[in-house]
Structure 1
Amino acid sequence: MLIHGACHCGNIVFDLDWRPEPSEIPARACTCSFCTKHAGVWTSCPTGSLRVRVNEPTRVSRYDFGTHTADFHVCTRCGVVPVVTSRIDGALYAVVNVNTFEGVDETLLRRSPSTLDDETEAVRLARRRRNWIADVEYVERAD
């Protein structure tokens, strides 16, 4: 299943190739203060691939907090956070915000809260290696 998503203004867009075809899509509502304030509900498909395109790189801010092991890609024009990336041992991993999906049947989404505050950094990075999208291409268009 090819899932298209974008920030509100279309500056940050992505295509997630979800393989195999999902019968449901886990949608984890992170309970940290940043995700709560930005309505971050994250999903990933470890067997899929993700292509992120940024049309105006100067209008993207990368925000990291806490353990400083992940970058939240914030569109500075519309304020939406469609993707989070984490570089682990030279490889780029990602999750995407289900609230930025376009044209996906809402009944596929299985929403649940997710609290990760007590994870150590090592446990957090190991979880990302296992569960996040590992085939990630992030392309910024030249201004």
Structure 2
Amino acid sequence: MHLIATVAKHALHLNRRAAANSSAKPIPSPTNSTMTTMTTEQKRYGEYDGGCHCGYISFSFKLSPPLEEYTVINCNCSICRRMGYLLIYPPYEDVTWHKSSKERCSVYQFNTKTMDHLFCPKCGASICIDLRSHEPKRYGISARTVNNIDLDKLSYKKIDGVNKVGPAADLSGLEHGGKAEA
């Protein structure tokens, strides 16, 4: 849980810095009530569609700043590596799930069980992390699920999650380092 909160805070910091380098004013921290908040007209947004490989799960979202200015998080922790996550963090209110897609998703939880890792039950595509227990509430959407983007043209920040968080407990029920006895 600590790693995701750290990654989310880092992503917010990087994206505020990117916004500050544009003509827009910096986006205020949600914890700093002394700053004035930006109006929707002042923020620059990109609008995107995404979904799983088979089309069973679909969604759309707004992102500020737009993806071409956004810093995508590339974490090397065990769950991010195995799920293939390259994460972007739109707020809950900026994500629209189509045709009850969120309810259609299968859910994987581990360790503290405070985050849902959503994936398609038909094709298995990893969609996102539901960061419902963090403020502000956000989704960690896998950039790999966003339609019509070139992943090679995005900016990335590598996060060393493997050395910041201990390994998750083995829940497989298998003995001897994950190998079944013969």
State the TM bucket, normalised to the shorter chain: 0.5 to 0.7
Cα separation, 1, equivalents of 2:108 and 2:118: 7
Which SS does the other structure have where 1:65 is aligned? coil
Residue of structure 1 equivalent to 2:63: 18
Distance 1:12 1:47, change over 3 A: closer
TM-score, normalization by structure 2: 0.54
Cα separation, 2, equivalents of 1:22 and 1:36: 21
Unaligned residue ranges in structure 1 (runs of 5+): 120-143
Larger fraction in helix: 2
**Which of 123, 126, 129 does residue 78 from structure 1 map onto?**
123
Q: Give per-residue Cα distances to partners, 1:54-77, cap 9 Å, x unaligned.
A: 44945x321111221110011121
Bigger mean CA deviation after superposition, 89-98 or 5-14: 89-98
Counterparts of 1:45-124 in structure 2, within 5 Å, are: 45-46=90-91, 49-53=94-98, 54-55=100-101, 57=103, 60-88=105-133, 92-106=137-151, 108-116=153-161, 118=164
Tell me, yes or no, if the aligned pair for 2:91 and 2:137 is still in contact at 8 Å.
no
Q: Tell me how large the CA RMSD over aligned residues is.
A: 3.0
**Which of 82, 88, 110 does residue 43 from structure 1 map onto?**
88
Cα separation, 2, equivalents of 1:12 and 1:4: 11
Cα separation, 2, equivalents of 1:91 and 1:112: 21
TM-score, normalization by structure 1: 0.67
Larger fraction in strand: 1
Which of 1 and 2 has higher RCO (CA within 8 Å, sep 6+)?
A: 1
Q: Percent identity?
A: 23
Unaligned residue ranges in structure 2 (runs of 5+): 1-45, 166-182
Residue of structure 1 equivalent to 2:7: none
